[in-house]
Amino acid sequence: MPGHDAETERIRLIYDRRAATAPPARKDAGLHWIGSRAAGQTLEIGIGRGRTLPFYPPEVHLTGLELSGVAVAAAARRAAELGLEATLVQGDAASLPFPDEHFDTVVFSYALCTIPDDRAAVAEAVRVLRPDGCLLLIEHVRSPNLILRALERLLEPLTVRRMGDHLLREPLDHVLAEGLEIEELERHWFGVVERLAARKAAPYGAGEDWKVAAGAVSGMP
């Protein structure tokens, strides 16, 4: 795709190839966790071949964005097999083709480990999230266990070269830097897998309407 830096183009080619040849990805309990929390207009960034599709409830209006055109086509086939209506588009997480404050939920499922500029991707996710909207992510991250972390450090050059897969990332840092409020934070598999739900602040005073309606604020300074 034009306009991409060299690393993003390298990742696109890797995932074009993987989408055409790799066996179906394994099931993951975290996908239920994501599906049960997604609501309203939902964007999944780096949706791949659509592994998460069956886990979203029918009332969710899903948009999936993915760098690899081959993966987008596979996800579209998967959606059709499942009888789901989803909008699937090819694009780059670092510059999303959506307006500000458009989605109620934005999801990353094992994508921030691969997206070359993970910080820009989180900033973009927050930009397109509505105030009071929810960011959900399930990612493999740097382990707090020193032995595992040493292993991650050893393997990372290989996984980055082969799959663009970073093993030592900490997406929580980017989510906090964007000012989101953490609602849920869990670590699994010796701290290697993180599940995170975070909320974008509503504009100041937006939550006060009910008090005005109930007369609760009358007479208050």
Binding residues vs ligand SAM (CB under 6 A): 8, 11, 15, 25, 45-48, 51-52, 65-68, 71, 92-94, 109-111, 114-115
- Looking at the Cβ atoms of 11 and 134, the one nearer to ligand SAM is 11
Q: Smallest gap, in angstroms, from Cβ of residue 153 to ligand SAM?
A: 20
Q: Which residues contact 200 (CB under 8 A, 6 or more apart)?
A: 126, 129, 130, 131, 132, 133, 134, 135, 180
- Looking at the Cβ atoms of 45 and 86, the one nearer to ligand SAM is 45
- Looking at the Cβ atoms of 25 and 148, the one nearer to ligand SAM is 25
Q: Which residue has the tokens 């050059």?
A: 157
Q: What is the length of the chain?
A: 221
What crossing angle do the helices spanning 146-163 and 6-21 adopt, rounded to 10°? Answer: 90
Q: Smallest gap, in angstroms, from Cβ of residue 201 to ligand SAM?
A: 26
Q: Smallest gap, in angstroms, from Cβ of residue 36 to ligand SAM?
A: 16
Greatest Cα pair distance, the chain, in angstroms, is 68
| Contact (CB, 8 A) for 189 and 195 | no
The identity of residue 116, as a single letter, is: P
| Contact (CB, 8 A) for 122 and 151 | no
Beta bridge partners, 29, equal none
Nearest-CB residue for ligand SAM: 48
- Looking at the Cβ atoms of 93 and 219, the one nearer to ligand SAM is 93
- Looking at the Cβ atoms of 23 and 215, the one nearer to ligand SAM is 23
- Looking at the Cβ atoms of 36 and 181, the one nearer to ligand SAM is 36
Q: Smallest gap, in angstroms, from Cβ of residue 113 to ligand SAM?
A: 7
Separation in Å, CA 149 to CA 34, 143, 161, 197 = 26, 5, 18, 24
Q: Residue 121: count other Cβ atoms within 10 Å of its Cβ.
A: 24
The identity of residue 2, as a single letter, is: P
Q: Smallest gap, in angstroms, from Cβ of residue 170 to ligand SAM?
A: 17
Q: Smallest gap, in angstroms, from Cβ of residue 154 to ligand SAM?
A: 20
